[in-house]
Amino acid sequence: MKKLKLAVLLFCLAFAPLTVLAAQVNLNTASASELEALPGIGATKAAAIVSDRETNGPFASVDDLARVSGIGDKTVEQLRGSASVK
Protein backbone atom coordinates (compact mmCIF):
# COMPACT_ATOMS: atom_id res chain seq x y z
CA MET A 1 0.00 0.00 0.00
CA LYS A 2 2.85 2.39 0.80
CA LYS A 3 4.36 1.75 -2.62
CA LEU A 4 1.06 2.59 -4.29
CA LYS A 5 0.75 5.86 -2.36
CA LEU A 6 4.32 6.75 -3.24
CA ALA A 7 3.72 5.95 -6.90
CA VAL A 8 0.60 8.14 -6.96
CA LEU A 9 2.45 10.99 -5.25
CA LEU A 10 5.35 10.78 -7.69
CA PHE A 11 2.94 10.67 -10.62
CA CYS A 12 1.15 13.80 -9.39
CA LEU A 13 4.41 15.64 -8.80
CA ALA A 14 5.69 14.68 -12.24
CA PHE A 15 2.65 16.04 -14.03
CA ALA A 16 1.93 19.09 -11.84
CA PRO A 17 3.98 21.41 -14.11
CA LEU A 18 1.77 20.43 -17.06
CA THR A 19 -1.26 21.70 -15.17
CA VAL A 20 0.43 25.06 -14.64
CA LEU A 21 1.44 25.27 -18.29
CA ALA A 22 -2.12 24.57 -19.38
CA ALA A 23 -3.39 27.82 -17.84
CA GLN A 24 -3.85 30.56 -20.40
CA VAL A 25 -2.47 34.06 -19.95
CA ASN A 26 -5.05 36.80 -20.45
CA LEU A 27 -3.59 39.34 -22.85
CA ASN A 28 -5.88 42.08 -21.54
CA THR A 29 -5.06 41.76 -17.85
CA ALA A 30 -1.59 40.22 -17.61
CA SER A 31 1.37 42.26 -16.43
CA ALA A 32 4.53 42.40 -18.51
CA SER A 33 6.17 39.81 -16.27
CA GLU A 34 3.17 37.47 -16.65
CA LEU A 35 3.30 37.90 -20.43
CA GLU A 36 6.96 36.84 -20.39
CA ALA A 37 5.78 33.36 -19.39
CA LEU A 38 4.36 32.94 -22.89
CA PRO A 39 6.50 31.09 -25.42
CA GLY A 40 8.51 33.46 -27.60
CA ILE A 41 7.69 36.53 -25.48
CA GLY A 42 10.60 38.21 -23.75
CA ALA A 43 10.79 41.46 -21.83
CA THR A 44 10.77 43.67 -24.95
CA LYS A 45 7.73 42.05 -26.57
CA ALA A 46 5.89 41.88 -23.25
CA ALA A 47 6.42 45.62 -22.75
CA ALA A 48 5.24 46.24 -26.33
CA ILE A 49 2.05 44.23 -25.67
CA VAL A 50 1.28 46.23 -22.52
CA SER A 51 2.04 49.52 -24.29
CA ASP A 52 -0.17 48.63 -27.25
CA ARG A 53 -2.98 47.58 -24.92
CA GLU A 54 -2.75 50.89 -23.04
CA THR A 55 -2.68 52.90 -26.29
CA ASN A 56 -5.22 51.00 -28.42
CA GLY A 57 -7.45 49.32 -25.86
CA PRO A 58 -8.04 45.65 -25.13
CA PHE A 59 -7.39 42.86 -27.59
CA ALA A 60 -10.58 41.41 -29.09
CA SER A 61 -8.83 38.17 -30.02
CA VAL A 62 -5.40 36.57 -29.89
CA ASP A 63 -5.11 37.50 -33.58
CA ASP A 64 -4.97 41.16 -32.53
CA LEU A 65 -1.45 40.54 -31.23
CA ALA A 66 -0.31 40.97 -34.83
CA ARG A 67 -0.91 44.71 -34.40
CA VAL A 68 1.95 44.83 -31.87
CA SER A 69 5.29 45.82 -33.32
CA GLY A 70 7.64 42.84 -33.37
CA ILE A 71 4.90 40.20 -33.27
CA GLY A 72 4.06 38.48 -36.51
CA ASP A 73 1.70 35.76 -37.63
CA LYS A 74 4.12 33.00 -36.65
CA THR A 75 4.27 34.23 -33.05
CA VAL A 76 0.49 34.62 -32.94
CA GLU A 77 0.07 31.00 -34.02
CA GLN A 78 2.59 29.89 -31.41
CA LEU A 79 0.61 31.70 -28.69
CA ARG A 80 -2.85 30.59 -29.73
CA GLY A 81 -3.07 27.78 -27.15
CA SER A 82 -1.47 29.63 -24.26
CA ALA A 83 -3.00 33.12 -24.54
CA SER A 84 -6.57 34.33 -24.27
CA VAL A 85 -8.51 37.58 -24.14
CA LYS A 86 -11.21 36.47 -21.67
> In this predicted model, what pLDDT tens digit does every residue of 53-80 receive, in sequence order?
999 999 999 999 999 999 999 999 999 9
Q: Give the CATH number, domain containing residue 48.
A: 1.10.150.280
Residue 1 belongs to some domain of the structure: no
33 or 12: which carries more pLDDT confidence? Answer: 33
Q: Which residue has the higher pLDDT, 25 or 2?
A: 25
pLDDT at 19 over 60: no
SS3 35: helix
Domain count, the chain: 1
Which residue segment(s) compose the domain that 54 sits in?
A: 24-84
Are 35 and 25 in contact, with CB atoms under 8 Å apart? yes
Q: Tens digit of pLDDT for each residue in 20-52?
A: 445 899 999 999 999 999 999 999 999 999 999
Residues 11, 1: Cα–Cα separation, whole Å: 15
The answer to whether residue 42 is domain-embedded is yes
